[in-house]
């Protein structure tokens, strides 16, 4: 079949009733350029004109109603601005009052007492009588009422469109004209028959007709289902093809050996038994790295699920195959902590671990860069300074990005260039992301999940306390410290006002000091204004147990690991988002002691804040929290996804249509597995569709 241009690609000005001026408006205001765009300009709801309501059934809850009755009186009353036309309409069950403030003279002449009308509008009450102002009126003759009942589409419009007489009504008219012109062959089906029948979907042409002008609710729902599925399916197909291409054509380093480093570590140095999830993920990573394709994997693990050790062992595999690795963290504190735990865990293994950050001295930096370039360093940890162009590796085989799934495509691409054959890339999330986002916004990556915590972890008990309970809260912290534990006290960081944050923190610090005047209660403080040596020194004292309390802004948010800390107090907890609260809370509950997280807030809270606090108190499960977060905030608000345009589905909603997304993902993957070139007869429709719309896709930005 040849791809001859379809009537749908005609410029919108060629539609009867449009013309150049209106076309210009449609383009500017609604991005409607072609017939197809108009067809895909969907109504956001329908006004139900299929029902006739009895007047005595109208209540204060009623919104839009349609009533049929006889006008029994009609008169103009009031003066000047209060001048109005009032009619009484009786339908045999009661009286409905109709009021107009405009067009009064003309209406008074055209409406007639004693005749029957179908009336439509928003119902209200005035002095206990139901009333509609400015109703739509249509005279009816006995017996033909039903013929005109329908669901009227309501389109999103802009003020400009309305002002130029292109409001929702006019758009509906244009769409109607267009649909009259089209026949089934003009709207080619793009989903294979097998998919249509598996998911009970109606055809594409039918769906377009029914989404605009359904005869009943069911028709509309059928159309909606079909078109939502199409959106999700096509997007999953595109993502699937990106993964497929990478798997089939990208050349990757082959790590087929598991050698001395790995084995020595695994057999004699592993400090604990790996969890089932850790083993499974390691297996997935080993398989990727041995496959000859470049790995691009997102590792999603809950806070404390033990991602670091998985990273470490993956880097040992690289080492066994003669390759270097780099391990990047979002903050210097975290990079240093990784450096320390890697060095200690690997002390008996013949690999060289070093750290490079912004605060490395010039001399040190020079030496490290050289040792990296000549291959003496096996594992280089550090901040994102590691991806700068001046950091050259002799043979970089694996790059791990910790605690940051937002590590962008551009940054990833930079990594890929660090070796002649791109190194394998493993991105580890700070907290779980909802599966729907993983499938859409990050759908080009393969991903692994660690949904199991190491054994013996006790869930952190989380409570919400109001400001006035502060003395009791402090007493509790004191009692925990007396038992030999440590505590975090966290202050919010609102970037718009660094000065205010700083003042709050200092005030807080003084308050904390006042609560703990006796000896034995030492305080560390870490905040963004400190030099990194200072931060490091304060952190160090807390890690060693020289200080019992860590007062901090969210700089310690990610990664920090002090198992003896058993209490976390979060000040102004209402100002934090869910992922952040969960991530913070993850700093406690890392040891064998029972741990607590106290969310301190002011008394008056917004509904959303209350909801967040409730969720935090009810679960420790990061995957659940991520889902809730998405529900509360909606996909449009999730950072980093809006600009990407990836989630701009016209109809589908990844929260409400989660099940459908899974189904779409499944069937798209099935097609790619069975017929990656779309050469089978049943898939021809898909191929044609993808070719036709190539270049218009948002997905092209990803690969």
Kindly tell me the burial class for residue 520, based on how many C-beta atoms sit within 10 Å of its own C-beta (0-12, 13-18, 19 or more): exposed
Tally the C-alpha atoms within 13 A of residue 11's C-alpha that lie toward its C-beta. 9
Nearest Cα residue to 124 out of 114, 109, 134: 134
- Cβ(447)–Cβ(288) below 8 Å: no
Question: Which one of 64-72, 551-559, 622-630, 687-695 is the stretch in contact with Mg ion (CB under 5 A)?
Answer: 551-559
Q: How far apart are CA 439 and CA 654, in angstroms?
A: 10
Segment interacting with Mg ion, rule: CB under 5 A, options 446-454, 559-567, 598-606, 682-690: 559-567
As measured in angstroms, the least distance from the Cβ of 597 to ligand ADP is: 15
C-beta of 308: minimal distance to Mg ion in Å?
A: 5
The per-type count for the chain, helices as H runs and strands as E runs, is 23, 21
- Exactly one of 130, 135, 252, 301 binds ligand ADP (CB under 6 A); that residue is 301
SS3 66: strand
- Closest CB to ligand ADP among residues 49, 280: 280
Stretch that binds ligand ADP, among 40-48, 76-84, 296-304, 484-492 (CB under 6 A): 296-304
Contact status: 214 vs ligand ADP (CB under 6 A): no
Cα first-last separation, the chain: 28
As given in the structure block, the two tokens for residue 87 are 């009619």
The least CB distance from residue 380 to Mg ion, in Å, is: 18
Least separation in angstroms between residue 585's CB and Mg ion is 14
The listed partner (Mg ion, ligand ADP, none) that binds 303, CB under 5 to 8 Å by sort, is: ligand ADP
Q: What is the CA radius of gyration of the chain?
A: 33
CA distance 586 to 568: 9
> For residue 235, how many other CB atoms are within 10 A of its CB?
24
Nearby residues of 369 by Cβ (< 8 Å), 6 or more positions away: 356, 390, 391, 392
- Helix ranges (H only) for 586-621 are 607-618
Alpha-carbon distances of 234 from 218, 482, 652, rounded to whole Å:
24, 60, 12
**Shortest approach of ligand ADP to residue 451 CB, angstroms?**
12
Q: Is 274 in the site for ligand ADP (CB under 6 A)?
A: yes
- Site for ligand ADP contains 454 (CB under 6 A): yes
Q: What are 537's two structure tokens? A: 């020194």
Exactly one of 43, 330, 559, 589 binds Mg ion (CB under 5 A); which one?
559
Does 303 bind ligand ADP (CB under 6 A)? Our answer is yes
Residue 432 vs 559, nearer CB to Mg ion: 559
344: contact with ligand ADP by CB under 6 A: no
Determine the interface stretch with ligand ADP among 122-130, 252-260, 304-312, 539-547 (rule: CB under 6 A).
304-312
Q: Which of Mg ion, ligand ADP, none is residue 88 near (CB under 5 to 8 Å by kind)?
A: none
The minimum distance between CB 329 and ligand ADP, in angstroms, equals 10
For residues 185 and 183, what is the distance between their CA atoms, to the nearest angstrom? 6
Q: Which two tokens stand for residue 278?
A: 């850790």
Q: Which residue is nearest to ligand ADP (CB)?
A: 306
Question: CA 627, CA 164: separation in Å to the nearest integer?
Answer: 43
Nearest to ligand ADP of 308, 667 (CB atom)? 308
- Does position 338 interact with ligand ADP (CB under 6 A)? The reply is no
Q: Residue count at the site for Mg ion (CB under 5 A)?
A: 1
62 exposure class (CB count in 10 Å sphere: 0-12, 13-18, 19+)? middle
Closest contact distance (angstroms) between CB of 585 and ligand ADP is 12
Among 309, 334, 427, 616, contact with ligand ADP (rule: CB under 6 A):
309
With CB under 6 A as the rule, give the number of residues binding ligand ADP: 17
Q: Is 308 an interacting residue with respect to ligand ADP (CB under 6 A)?
A: yes
| Contact stretch for ligand ADP (CB under 6 A) within 84-92, 185-193, 298-306, 462-470 | 298-306
DSSP-H helix ranges across 80-167: 104-110, 159-163
Q: Is 252 in the site for ligand ADP (CB under 6 A)?
A: no
Q: Residue 75 or residue 273: which is nearer to ligand ADP going by CB?
A: 273
| Interstrand relation of 446-450 and 549-552 (parallel, antiparallel or unpaired) | unpaired
Partner that binds at residue 590, options ligand ADP, Mg ion, none, CB closer than 5 to 8 Å by kind: ligand ADP
Q: Which two tokens stand for residue 187?
A: 């709207």
Interatomic CA distance for residues 241 and 235, integer angstroms: 10
**Residue 272 touches ligand ADP, criterion: CB under 6 A:** yes
Q: How far is the CB of 559 from ligand ADP (least distance, A)?
A: 6
Q: Of 223 and 567, which has the nearer Cβ to ligand ADP?
A: 567
- Could you say which of ligand ADP, Mg ion, none residue 304 binds, taking C-beta under 5 to 8 angstroms by partner kind? ligand ADP
φ, ψ at 14 (rounded to 5°): -80, -5
Interface map 434-473 toward Mg ion (x if CB under 5 A): ----------------------------------------
Part in contact with ligand ADP (CB under 6 A); list of ranges 43-51, 273-281, 368-376, 567-575: 273-281
Q: Which two tokens stand for residue 114?
A: 């004693």
| Count of Cβ atoms closer than 10 Å to residue 2 Cβ | 4
CB of 304 to ligand ADP, least distance (A): 5
CB of 566 to ligand ADP, least distance (A): 14
DSSP letter at 266? I
The stretch near ligand ADP (CB under 6 A) out of 241-249, 268-276, 384-392, 440-448 is 268-276
Contacted entry of Mg ion, ligand ADP, none for residue 305, CB cut-off 5 to 8 Å set by kind: ligand ADP
The answer to whether 622 contacts Mg ion (rule: CB under 5 A) is: no
The correct pick among 306, 432, 622, 635 for binding ligand ADP (CB under 6 A) is 306
Q: How far is CA 101 from CA 79, 96, 113, in A?
A: 11, 17, 19
Q: Taking Cα atoms as reference points, which of 626, 559, 554, 585 lies closest to residue 307?
A: 559
Question: If residue 326 lies in a helix (H) or strand (E), which one and from where to where?
Answer: strand 324-328
CB of 217 to Mg ion, least distance (A): 50
CA dist., res. 362 & res. 369, Å (int): 10
Q: Which stretch binds ligand ADP (CB under 6 A): 36-44, 87-95, 272-280, 661-669?
A: 272-280
Collapse the DSSP code of 109 into the 3-class scheme (helix H, G, I; strand E, B; otherwise coil) and give the result: helix
Site for ligand ADP in 546-605 (CB under 6 A): 561, 563, 590
Q: How many CB atoms lie within 10 A of CB 514?
A: 9
Site for ligand ADP, rule CB under 6 A: 272-275, 278, 301, 303-309, 454, 561, 563, 590
Site for Mg ion, rule CB under 5 A: 559
């Amino acid at each position: 079949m040849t791809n001859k241009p379809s009537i749908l690609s005609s410029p919108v000005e060629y539609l009867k009733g449009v013309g150049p001026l209106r076309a210009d408006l449609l383009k500017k205001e609604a991005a409607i350029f072609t017939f197809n765009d108009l067809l895909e300009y969907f109504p956001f709801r329908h006004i139900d004109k299929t029902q006739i309501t009895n007047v005595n059934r109208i209540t204060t809850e009623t919104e839009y109603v349609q009533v049929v009755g006889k006008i029994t009186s009609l008169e103009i009353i009031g003066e000047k601005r209060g001048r109005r036309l009032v009619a009484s309409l009786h339908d045999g069950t009661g009286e409905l009052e109709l009021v107009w403030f405009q067009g009064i003279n003309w209406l008074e002449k055209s409406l007639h007492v004693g005749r029957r009308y179908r009336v439509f509008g928003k119902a209200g009450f005035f002095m206990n009588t139901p009333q509609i102002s400015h109703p739509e009126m249509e005279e009816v003759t006995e017996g033909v009422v039903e013929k005109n009942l329908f669901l009227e589409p309501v389109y999103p419009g802009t003020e400009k469109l309305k002002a130029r007489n292109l409001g929702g009504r006019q758009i509906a008219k244009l769409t109607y004209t267009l649909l009259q012109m089209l026949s089934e062959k003009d709207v080619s089906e793009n989903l294979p028959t097998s998919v249509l029948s598996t998911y009970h979907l109606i055809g594409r042409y039918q769906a377009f007709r029914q989404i605009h002008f359904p005869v009943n609710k069911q028709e509309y729902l059928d159309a909606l289902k079909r078109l939502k599925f199409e959106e999700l399916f096509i997007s999953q197909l595109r993502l699937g093809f990106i993964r497929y291409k990478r798997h089939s054509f990208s050349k990757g380093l082959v790590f087929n050996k598991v050698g001395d480093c790995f084995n020595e570590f695994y057999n004699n140095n592993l400090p604990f038994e790996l969890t089932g999830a850790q083993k499974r993920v390691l297996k997935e990573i080993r398989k990727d790295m041995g496959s000859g394709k470049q790995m691009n994997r997102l590792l999603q693990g809950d806070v404390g699920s033990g991602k670091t050790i998985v990273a470490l062992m993956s880097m040992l595999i690289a080492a066994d195959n003669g390759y270097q690795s780099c391990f990047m963290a979002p903050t210097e504190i975290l990079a240093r902590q990784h450096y320390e735990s890697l060095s200690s865990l690997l002390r008996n293994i013949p690999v060289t671990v070093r750290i490079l950050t912004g605060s490395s001295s010039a001399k040190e930096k020079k030496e490290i860069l050289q040792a990296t370039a000549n291959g003496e360093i096996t594992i280089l940890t550090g901040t994102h300074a590691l991806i700068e162009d001046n950091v050259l590796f002799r043979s970089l085989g694996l790059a791990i990005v910790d605690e940051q799934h937002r590590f962008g495509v551009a940054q990833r691409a930079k990594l890929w260039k660090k070796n002649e054959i791109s190194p394998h890339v493993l991105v580890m999330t700070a907290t779980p992301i909802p599966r729907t986002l993983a499938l859409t916004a990050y759908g080009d990556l393969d991903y692994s999940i660690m949904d199991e915590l190491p054994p013996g972890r006790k869930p952190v008990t989380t409570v919400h306390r109001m400001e006035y309970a502060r003395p009791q809260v402090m007493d509790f912290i004191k009692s925990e410290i007396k038992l030999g534990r440590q505590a975090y006290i966290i202050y919010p960081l609102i970037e718009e006002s660094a000065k205010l944050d700083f003042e709050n923190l200092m005030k807080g610090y003084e308050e904390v000091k006042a609560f703990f005047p006796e000896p034995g209660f030492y305080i560390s403080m870490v905040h963004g204004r400190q030099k990194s040596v200072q931060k490091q020194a304060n952190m160090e004292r807390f890690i060693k147990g020289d200080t019992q309390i860590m007062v901090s802004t969210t700089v310690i948010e990610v990664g920090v690991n002090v198992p003896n800390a058993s209490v976390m107090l979060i000040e102004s907890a209402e100002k934090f988002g869910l992922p952040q609260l969960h991530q913070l809370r993850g700093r406690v509950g890392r040891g064998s002691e029972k741990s607590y997280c106290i969310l301190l807030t002011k008394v008056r809270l917004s509904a959303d804040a209350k909801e967040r606090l409730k969720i935090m108190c009810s679960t420790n499960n990061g995957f659940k929290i991520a889902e809730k977060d998405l529900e509360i905030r909606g996909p449009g608000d999730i950072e980093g996804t809006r600009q990407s345009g990836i989630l701009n589905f016209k109809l589908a909603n990844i929260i409400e249509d989660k099940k459908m997304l899974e189904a779409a993902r499944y069937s798209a993957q099935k097609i790619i597995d069975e017929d990656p070139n779309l050469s089978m007869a049943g898939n021809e429709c898909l191929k044609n569709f993808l070719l036709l719309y190539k270049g218009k896709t948002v997905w092209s930005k990803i690969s």
